[in-house]
Amino acid sequence: MQRFYFPNLEKSDDNIVIKNPDLLNQFNKVLRAKSWDEFTFFNGVDEIDFIYEIVSIEKREAYLEKRWELEVDSEIDFDLNIFWALPNKIDKIEYILQKWVEVWVTWFYFFKSERSQKLILSENKIERLNKIIQEAVEQSWRSRVPELIIEDNISLDDFEWNENILFHTEDNESTSLKELKIDYNKWINLFVWPEWGFCDEEIDIFKKMWFNKVHLWNRILRTETTGVVASFYIIQNK
């Protein structure tokens, strides 16, 4: 059954009227929807899916009535946040968001590190990135929509009492992922390197803040691969 994010949906809404042109276009031209077809909606707040049936559908408006509700237990019970040095291409960000949403990330932060290449993200590009997040949430049957934040820089002072994990390409003074002891009662923040790694000055700052430095493997993984491997491992080992 096709599933849609509907942010203004209330649990008490026994019927809804859809006027969104994009959604109506998908109903009419892609799904060929007709009366009595059922679709699933969720609001990103309640861990409930709402199943509605089309009563009437026209070019500019569709009227649907609620038929039943389904509890969805699909979210992790702790905060797993990603802090990613901006990669060099927009398509890498798109891939990261699409795959990591499926693995269950709470927040996405992209920031400029010393070795991040110049990448201009217009409002239209950011809107597209948020659309990718939404579609991945719909597809993976998640209940919550992760938030996307893009900043020029971040202050590490804000992470003093969190569980901070720094992924790096060198194994000196590092621990392996399987040896890492994690406090799941804290916010877990994963910091992922840019294409050419964090510079020495950045590494020194991370060390002074007592970040857990983790070396994944003897092979060097791509920046977009690292997070999927690490976050899935962390979630599965709680």
Q: What is the pLDDT of residues 168-185, one digit of tens each?
A: 766 567 777 777 888 888
- Distance from the first to the final alpha carbon of the chain: 31
- pLDDT reported for residue 50: 95
Rounded to an integer, the average pLDDT of 48-70 is: 93
pLDDT in tens, 1-46: 789 999 889 989 999 999 988 889 889 889 898 999 999 999 988 8
Residue 22 has a CB neighbour count (10 Å cut-off) of: 8
- pLDDT reported for residue 225: 75
- pLDDT reported for residue 114: 76
Measured between alpha carbons, how far is 181 from 163 in angstroms, rounded to an integer? Answer: 10
Task: Indicate if the pLDDT at residue 112 is higher than 90.
Answer: no
Task: Indicate if the pLDDT at residue 133 is higher than 90.
Answer: yes
Measured between alpha carbons, how far is 163 from 87 in angstroms, rounded to an integer? Answer: 24
- pLDDT reported for residue 169: 62
Q: How far is CA 69 from CA 37, 46, 48, 65, in A?
A: 16, 11, 7, 12
- pLDDT reported for residue 207: 78
Buried/exposed 34-54: b ≥16 CB within 10 Å, e otherwise: eeebebbbbbbebeebbbbeb
If one compares 216 and 234, the residue with the highest pLDDT of the two is 234
The closest of 216, 182, 198, 204 to 111, measured between CA atoms, is: 198
Structure tokens that stand for 101 in this block? 């949403």
Q: How far is CA 95 from CA 57, 99, 222, in A?
A: 35, 6, 12
If one compares 73 and 39, the residue with the highest pLDDT of the two is 39
Q: Band the pLDDT of 118: cuts 50, 70, 90.
A: confident
Largest CA distance in the chain: 64
pLDDT in tens, 192-230: 877 667 777 877 878 777 888 887 766 666 777 777 778
